[in-house]
Structure 1
Amino acid sequence: MEKEQFEHGLNENRRKFLSKVSLGLGSIALGSLLIPDLFKGKSGEDALMEALPHFAPKAKRVIYLFQNGAPSQLETFDYKPLLNQQIGQELPDSIRAGQRLTGMTAGQSSFPLVGSFFKFNQYGESRAWISEAFPHTAKVVDDICIIKSMHTEAINHDPALTFFQTGAQVGNRPSMGAWLSYGLGSENSNLPSFCVLLSRGKGNGQGVYSKLWTNGFLDSVHQGVQFSASEDPVLYLKDPKGMNREDRRRMLDKLAELNNMNYETFGDPEIQAKVQQYEMAFRMQTAVPEVTDIKSEPDSIIKLYGPDCLIPGTYAANCLLARKLSENGVRFVQLYHQGWDAHDNLPNQMVGQAKDVDQASAALITDLKQRGLLDETLVIWGGEFGRTNYCQGKIQVDNYGRDHHPRAFSIWMAGGGVKSGMVYGETDEFGYNIVENPVHVHDFQATILHLMGIDHERLTYKHLGRRYRLTDVHGKVVKDILV
């Protein structure tokens, strides 16, 4: 009886809604955006998803500061004085133990150890070791959790980067931001739930591609929206000359009519997704210019992030923009900063890259904290793998390179339910193998979803007869780092 009453009430609400619609099918399409479940019952995949979030979330939003190209853990957060003491000596076979090498160093006749060019010191109550290249990060060390025991199977950039973002080394899988958009949606109907920001450093670059923020087999409304470094952060939002907002509204209503006629004929869900995207773009016309107005920030904030934050497309500008987007309800903001691929001349490249990102990354933590937003915003900093403890090519103390190293590397996380002032995991004295608390990429992904109130085993989507998830068939939540 209760079920019948509930269904009767739901149907009555639908009838009331439809009876008040006066603007044709275009408005009905808009209504379906505002009330996504209005025209469908909960069954199948919808029934699986209706319990989201599965439990009380620690974080509401994610800002992921991805350092594309793989920064060396040995020059950032994993202090190994033994490498400086044994510069030029051969990496012991017992340490490498026949592990896989890239094609760039597999042909080397020797593997001479090389220590860090940079000095390390301990900071904060946590007494964490931080490289002198990151003085601003050292100031917020008690607000972050450094994980020194990350590892992955991928040994080359593209598969490793794709693995971090999508849970698979091959393409056509939904990215992490798309999964969160699918599961949780946006807190602000006038902005996308998933935004992407790109910047380019001074070091050797590795490309980033749209497959890293793809929706994969999810509806295209979940794809990341890329912001540009131009005066128009999102292209084609402005009305063309001769068209005002009322004209655009009428045009979209008529376009929605045509698209819904197509949907009734062909039944392709991407037609509905297209209508949703048009409506989102219409709402973004007002929201985006206001959110992306960096010049409206007070001088104290500009000083905090540094003068580069006034230059569109820089890492500093993107960090500040990420705070503004997150503050306004964007669920997942993904930054990619290129230039970390230091196979040679690592000390000089590290100086430039660290100068680009150190102040702004720390400023983001400080800014969120002073606004009372850090506790509900998860911030992540790190790359796709680490760097070898031996030199690639000819060894020079002040001019050396390091090859890819997937077996052990460092990242840091902050806010959003993660313990602060903590160092988790440990590598051996050579910085080559993990000896304590290993964290796999799938564990990392499972932990992020957990912090967002999602059981990673239950966030699924059926595609080609199989249920997929971000963590595939792996992943354990790293509970030790959670508040």
Structure 2
Amino acid sequence: MLQRAAAGFGYVALQGLLGREKAQAEVIPNPLAPKQPQFPARAKRVVFLFMKGGPSHVDTFDPKPLLQRDDGKPYPYEQPRVQFAQTGKLLKSPWSFKQYGQSGLPVSELFPNVAQCVDDLCILRSVYGTNPAHGGACLKLHTGSDTQIRPSMGSWVLYGLGSENENLPGFITICPTLAHGGVNNWGAAFLPAYCQGTPIGNASIPADKALVRHIRNDLLSGEEQRKQLDYIAKLNREHLELTGPDLALEGRINSFELAYRMQSTMPEAQDINGESEATKRMYGLDNKVTANFGHQCLMARRFLERGVRFVQVTHSDGEVQWDQHSALFKGHTKNAAEVDKPIAGFLRDLKERGLLEDTLVLWGGEFGRTPTAQGGDGRDHNPHGFTMWMAGAGVKPGIAYGATDDYGYFAQQDKVHIHDLHATILHLLGMNHEKLTYRYAGRDFRLTDVEGRVVKEIIA
């Protein structure tokens, strides 16, 4: 109307006002808004069940008849040039294996409940890494590098796809270990701040006591906080208009807003009181042995169904873990008993709710263990060949892929490097690992560095 009335200056002023309002609205867009994958995806979200310390593959999902036969004999082939520590003669598994399901895949008696879900598993028996030490191997598994501080795979996934929930973090890690890489295992490194994982508790805190720090504000009411945040945001926007884009400042503004929304959403998501007694029993919450890890898995399901893109659940008690340099039987028996029923319950629950169709479940540790003995009745670290498994979201169910040698020391057939694992995860999420890059310090970085292939043979 002003333009048609030839009120030129009034029209210019109106345009300027509208333009400023639009600019203010666009100064800080929501970086966690969902993004389209690069190509049709099989998975929408990922949950990583991390067994800290390195479970033994030859005692869990990779049976070795020759190891049983040759117990006490020397390992007949050349051992790795670099070893974490010296080991002795071959040590047979103290557990028997049985075939399960229609697939007939063998599983150790350590995992009788997970064995009932074997037809949903895609067991990778030929995974290998590069580092025999916990710290380097954990970083390699989580970030793709054991020598540099790089973004974690959860951060890369969030960077590439955003989140499906505006009121919760897009990347959550439940009761993570603070050792062997610590925060770097869920850190964003040089990626934008919003890609950082949000820890809930840590490995030394019982799951039912694990909370996001400072989730409640005891000093200000919600209305007062809203006024405070609005005023801070106004000042920050004025600052951004003068300085131009500032990723660090924009990240802080977005973190303030997310933290405000989380105050009501996070406690509700963590509150399992509304779950049925049957569901709680399925996760093992009625047994003190399984209750802690079961609580973590149940929280993970609640986060996944609320749109959290990447969830990590860590089994690490801070003492025994899966790191049995001695007392293999005692340690692995204890650890498997704590996680077996919760994991099986988690898989069944996802399947019954239809979540397994587009949720990728990943299980494993930072490496496996040697077939040779250490400390008489233990096994040393072994990054040269070990087992991880996947389930759901586009992977072939009820198969075992790849193989280690006759005794389980080295990945030998259809080898899957950690970079290959990462490339495959990203592919299932609809992202090309070679094109999901971020320019930093003059170079385009990616999760798989300069390597990695998609293991297409395991994709349904």
Q: TM-score, normalised by structure 2?
A: 0.89
Q: Counterpart of 2:110? A: 133
Contact between 1:227 and 1:234, CA under 8 Å: does it hold in 2? Answer: yes
The equivalent position to 2:154 in structure 1, one of 173, 177, 187, is 177
In 1, the alpha carbon distance for the partners of 2:290 and 2:368 equals 29
In 2, the alpha carbon distance for the partners of 1:403 and 1:391 equals 7
Deviations 1:432-474 (A, max 9, x none): 2233211110000000000000000000000000000000010
The equivalent position to 1:193 in structure 2, one of 162, 170, 194, is 170
Give the partner amino acid of 2:360: L
Gap change, CA 1:165 and 1:232, over 3 Å in 2: closer
In 2, the alpha carbon distance for the partners of 1:165 and 1:122 equals 32
Q: Counterpart of 1:296? A: 274
Give the partner amino acid of 1:214: G
Give the partner amino acid of 1:76: T
Q: Counterpart of 1:342? A: 324
2:303 equivalent to 1:307: no
Give the partner amino acid of 1:476: R
In 2, the alpha carbon distance for the partners of 1:34 and 1:18 equals 21
Contact between 2:290 and 2:338, CA under 8 Å: does it hold in 1? Answer: no
The equivalent position to 2:65 in structure 1, one of 81, 94, 119, is 81
Q: Counterpart of 1:67? A: 51
Q: Counterpart of 1:439? A: 416
> 323-332 vs 150-159, which deviates more?
150-159
SS of corresponding position for 1:403: strand
Give the partner amino acid of 1:100: R
2:423 equivalent to 1:452: no
Contact between 1:193 and 1:332, CA under 8 Å: does it hold in 2? Answer: yes
2:85 equivalent to 1:104: yes
Give the partner amino acid of 1:59: A
2:252 equivalent to 1:271: no
Deviations 1:236-258 (A, max 9, x none): 121224x2211111110111123
SS of corresponding position for 2:374: coil
Contact between 1:120 and 1:129, CA under 8 Å: does it hold in 2? Answer: yes
In 1, the alpha carbon distance for the partners of 2:290 and 2:405 equals 42
Give the partner amino acid of 1:317: H
Gap change, CA 1:433 and 1:260, over 3 Å in 2: same
In 1, the alpha carbon distance for the partners of 2:171 and 2:28 equals 20
Contact between 2:175 and 2:210, CA under 8 Å: does it hold in 1? Answer: no
Matches within 5 A, 1:35-46: none
Contact between 2:59 and 2:108, CA under 8 Å: does it hold in 1? Answer: yes
In 1, the alpha carbon distance for the partners of 2:360 and 2:288 equals 24
Contact between 2:44 and 2:358, CA under 8 Å: does it hold in 1? Answer: yes
Deviations 1:239-286 (A, max 9, x none): 224x22111111101111233344455553201100000001111112
What fraction of aligned residue pairs are identical, expressed as a percent? Answer: 41
In 2, the alpha carbon distance for the partners of 1:471 and 1:101 equals 24
In 2, the alpha carbon distance for the partners of 1:295 and 1:230 equals 11
In 1, the alpha carbon distance for the partners of 2:108 and 2:18 equals 62
Contact between 1:113 and 1:390, CA under 8 Å: does it hold in 2? Answer: yes
Q: Counterpart of 1:11? A: none
Which segments of 5 or more consecutive residues in structure 1 lack a partner in the other structure?
A: 1-14, 38-49
Task: Give the alignment's Cα RMSD to 1 decimal.
Answer: 2.6
2:141 equivalent to 1:164: yes
SS of corresponding position for 1:420: coil
Q: Counterpart of 1:252? A: 229
Q: TM-score, normalised by structure 1?
A: 0.85
SS of corresponding position for 2:73: coil
In 1, the alpha carbon distance for the partners of 2:17 and 2:370 equals 62
Contact between 1:69 and 1:206, CA under 8 Å: does it hold in 2? Answer: no
Give the partner amino acid of 2:186: W
Deviation at 1:149, TM superposition (A): 0.6
In 1, the alpha carbon distance for the partners of 2:179 and 2:286 equals 22
Q: Counterpart of 2:3? A: none
Deviation at 1:410, TM superposition (A): 0.5
Deviation at 1:309, TM superposition (A): 8.4
Task: Provide the aligned length of Structure 1 versus Structure 2.
Answer: 436
Give the partner amino acid of 1:334: Q
Deviation at 1:125, TM superposition (A): 1.3
Contact between 1:136 and 1:362, CA under 8 Å: does it hold in 2? Answer: yes
Gap change, CA 1:104 and 1:434, over 3 Å in 2: closer
Give the partner amino acid of 1:165: H
Q: Counterpart of 1:46? A: none
SS of corresponding position for 2:373: coil
Deviation at 1:86, TM superposition (A): 1.4
Gap change, CA 1:253 and 1:372, over 3 Å in 2: same
Contact between 2:284 and 2:291, CA under 8 Å: does it hold in 1? Answer: no
Deviation at 1:160, TM superposition (A): 0.8
> Runs ≥4 in structure 1, deviation > 6 angstroms?
309-313
Contact between 1:148 and 1:411, CA under 8 Å: does it hold in 2? Answer: yes
Contact between 1:69 and 1:341, CA under 8 Å: does it hold in 2? Answer: yes
The equivalent position to 2:28 in structure 1, one of 26, 32, 36, is 32
